[in-house]
Amino acid sequence: MINTLHIKNIGIIDDVTISLNEGFNVLTGETGAGKTLIIGSLQILSGGRFSKEMIRNGEKNSYVEACLYLPNSEFEDGMVVVSREININGKNICKINGRLVTVSELKTFMSQIIDIHGQNENQSILDISTHIDLIDGYASKEIKNYKEKYKKLYEEYQNIKTELAKNYGDDREKQRKLDLLEYQIKEIEEAKLKEDEEEELENKRKIMMASEKISTNLMEAENQINSNIIDSINSAIKSLAKIEQYNEEYSNLAKRLRDSYYEIQEVGRDLETFSEDTYYDEKEQSEVEVRLDLINSLKRKYGNNISEILRYKEEINKEIFEIKNLETYVISLKKQQTDIEKQMIEISEKMHKIREKYSEELSTKINKELKDLEMKNAKFSVNIEFLQEKFNINGLDKVEFMISTNVGDEAKSLIKIASGGEMSRIMLAIKNVLTDVDKIPVIIFDEIDTGISGIAANSTGEKMKQISKKHQVLCVTHLASIAAKGDYNYFVSKEVKDEKTKTKIKLLSEQEVLEEIARISSGAITDISINHAKELRKMGLKEIA
């Protein structure tokens, strides 16, 4: 549901925030006060078209934001904030919970949240692709398991079709593909790659590049030890040996020097060994560079490292096998496809019978609703066409809602109904019957009562009220009998301030609701009109209870 709606700089709306509620929310008010702009703002927020002429005079942008409560949704706590800002230069900024989205993404998301019905809107139910889902929702208990089984088969069927499409075209194309893959395999195999060799080669190259520097310094260290340090320490040991009997400390010093002498001798021998082992081989370094160049060349073609290159080799080996054994592979796939198609046809036939059964029941209920709405000659029906071997996600059925509005008229598609008033009542009848299976939480009726009165008007209000028990309903109306049924009534007015007109919206108290019903019904608030409003309200609340 919509918790709050914030509208800024659209038409005469300056800056308005509306707190909406569950149930039946009714908007009434002065002509030209901005009721249509409120609905228009919701259309904009739902990804609808926007004209820069809608931006409030003197402003640079318009802004619409709604705080939605969607329990059992993917969003934390079910709270979602959706917004759309449109600048005078045509730039759109759309967000869902702070995340930037495109207008198309916003439209897709909001199509699952808000359904707007009015004299000129294209209601969601006019989208033929939704009709089969509505029928299946109505027949859910019987068709659900079949749909789940069919969906799994359909996904497998699509995977097989995708795999069959990978037949590489004609023989020439297959050979071209095979030649390329075999060249790649040969190039990788001839390289004889090892998992850890790149790191080893890099380390070896570093040492080779620094070999002259390493050799020079090792020899210098060895010379210093052999020519100076060893002789000096040896002389010092001899001197201490002459006096060590006089003091234990002298003896300790002599011992420490002897230990150092032996350790330094060992270091000298190690330096000599390292110096002999360190050499610069130009040929060997060239071989290392060539090997690393080869590895880098293969990395650019087949993977980021040797492991990925080797995995790629396995993948193309498999692909080569499939191409070489394509005929056998295709025969196997086609057999699987045929088996799955038989199962899909069998399930589709069962779903077709279920849909036909529930379509008749649905049509009977909707036609009853239409009679209540003073469309006694209208006849609603469901056309179900079984399409041989044209599988889709729902089976082999194409479902379309049909209507004839006059005796003797041929049933036509809903989208061909010309009268806005008739269309609105037809939509209301369908919505009322399908209220339990229609998953869209917010339904908006914008002046669908235009051109009706009396019994039809009262029935229209009752139907909207019935729908509001399962959905949040927002209704713009000019009829007192409908306003009297509101759970929450809002009055839309306009005022002139600082030589500018702006819209005001107020949630009415019960007394104010009576006064507004009186104003709508008679044009003036008098004792007689108030008493009449009380009767309408009493009847409306009684019906609500």
Domain boundaries, the chain: 1-113+440-545, 172-324
Q: Is the pLDDT of residue 35 over 70?
A: yes
Higher pLDDT, 215 or 32: 32
pLDDT in tens, 380-418: 999 999 987 788 899 999 999 998 888 888 888 877 765
Q: What does each C-alpha distance from 155 to 68, 163, 338, 351, 453 come to in angstroms? A: 34, 12, 14, 18, 51
Q: Mean pLDDT across the stretch 522-545?
A: 79
| H helices present in 111-170, as ranges | 131-138, 140-164
pLDDT of 71: 86
Q: Which of 119-133, 209-223, 337-351, 516-530 has the highest mean pLDDT?
A: 337-351
- 361-362-366 Cα angle (round to 5): 120
Query: For residue 538, what are its two tokens?
Result: 């009493």
Higher pLDDT, 418 or 39: 39
pLDDT in tens, 100-146: 999 999 999 998 899 888 755 545 677 788 899 889 988 988 999 99
Distance of CA 498 to the CA centre of its chain: 45
pLDDT of 545: 47
Query: For residue 118, what are its two tokens?
Result: 């009015």
Query: For residue 545, what are its two tokens?
Result: 């209870």
Q: How confident is the model at residue 339 (pLDDT cuts 50, 70, 90)?
A: very high
Please say whether the beta carbons of 47 and 110 come within 8 A: yes
Q: Is the pTM of this model over 0.85?
A: no
Beta strand 114-118 pairing with 442-446: parallel
Q: Mean pLDDT across the stretch 86-100?
A: 90
pLDDT of 280: 60
pLDDT of 420: 59
Please say whether the beta carbons of 444 and 474 come within 8 A: yes
Give me the residue label for tokens 């299976």. Answer: 437
Q: How many helices (H) and strands (E) does the chain have?
A: 17, 15
- 280-282-287 Cα angle (round to 5): 120
Q: What is the mean pLDDT of the chain?
A: 86
Question: Strands (DSSP E) along 373-453, which ranges?
Answer: 379-386, 397-404, 412-413, 442-446
Please say whether the beta carbons of 444 and 41 come within 8 A: no
Query: For residue 533, what are its two tokens?
Result: 């409003």
pLDDT in tens, 415-450: 776 555 677 778 888 888 888 777 889 999 888 777
pLDDT of 122: 46
How far is 467 from 24, CA to CA, in rounded Å? 9
How far is 471 from 402, CA to CA, in rounded Å? 25
CB neighbours of residue 205 within 10 Å: 15
Beta strand 472-476 pairing with 24-29: parallel
Please say whether the beta carbons of 86 and 62 come within 8 A: yes
Query: For residue 430, what are its two tokens?
Result: 């369908």
pLDDT of 9: 92
How far is 22 from 403, CA to CA, in rounded Å? 32
Query: For residue 394, what are its two tokens?
Result: 């729902």
Q: Is the pLDDT of residue 371 over 60?
A: yes
pLDDT of 277: 67
pLDDT in tens, 242-273: 888 888 888 888 888 888 888 888 887 887 77
Query: How long a stretch of residues is the chain?
Result: 545
Superfamily of domain 1-113+440-545: P-loop containing nucleotide triphosphate hydrolases (3.40.50.300)
**% residues pLDDT > 70 (the chain):** 94
Return the minimum-mean-pLDDT range out of 185-194, 356-365, 445-454, 526-535: 445-454
pLDDT in tens, 291-321: 899 999 999 999 899 999 999 999 999 888 8
Q: Is the pLDDT of residue 168 over 60?
A: no
